[in-house]
């Protein structure tokens, strides 16, 4: 497990280098009082680099010899396929239905698939998280999320 984590951290750091090179090619927006178009990708890159370096250091410093079972059961594989299908459905339906309509539905279904508490809690969390994300992007970042064809 230690060797796998070190290799994974190194691969992610290499991907970060490529990502950083691509970020440099983003065009600048000529809008007053707005963030550059490279702000969010750079922020995500920084978080990813910090997490990768943390994983790398943790596995180099510790002397743990954990073993890992790489076999996936049929139930886990079915769950993985279902979640992947839901993500593709979300991407496809986002432009059709809009962010405010499809996001709570997908979040609710994903929470139910992964065993996320009671139904009432899943509804409250999916709706409130969607509204918080929408308000955050709309008011703070001034980024318009997809409205869809329905609205």
Where in the chain are the domains?
2-61, 74-140
Residue for token digits 């980024």? 143
DSSP 66: -
| Contact of 1 with 68, CB cutoff 8 Å | yes
Q: Is 76 exposed, middle or buried (0-12, 13-18, 19+ CB in 10 A)?
A: exposed
Task: Tokens for 83, please give them.
Answer: 């979640």
* Strand extents, DSSP E, the chain: none
Per residue in 74-115, pLDDT (tens digit) is 988 998 999 999 999 999 999 899 999 999 999 999 999 888
Residue pLDDT tens, the chain, 151 long: 788 888 999 999 999 999 999 988 888 777 777 777 788 899 999 999 999 999 999 988 887 766 777 788 898 899 899 999 999 999 999 989 999 999 999 999 999 988 878 999 999 999 999 999 999 988 888 888 888 887 6
Cα–Cα distance between 149 and 151 in angstroms, integer? 6
């Amino acid at each position: 497990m230690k060797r796998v984590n070190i290799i994974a951290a190194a691969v992610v750091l290499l991907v970060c280098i490529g990502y950083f090179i691509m970020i440099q090619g983003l065009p600048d927006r000529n809008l007053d009082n707005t963030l550059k178009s490279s702000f969010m990708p750079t922020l995500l890159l920084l978080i990813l680099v910090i997490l990768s370096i943390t994983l790398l250091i943790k596995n180099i410093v510790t002397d743990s010899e954990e073993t890992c079972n790489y076999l996936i059961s049929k139930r886990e594989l079915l769950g993985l396929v279902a979640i992947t299908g839901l993500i593709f459905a979300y991407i496809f339906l986002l432009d059709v239905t809009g962010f405010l309509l499809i996001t709570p539905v997908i979040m609710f279904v994903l929470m139910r698939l992964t065993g996320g508490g009671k139904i009432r809690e899943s509804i409250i969390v999916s709706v409130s998280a969607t509204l918080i994300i929408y308000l955050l992007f709309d008011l703070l970042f001034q980024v318009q999320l997809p409205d869809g064809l329905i609205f």
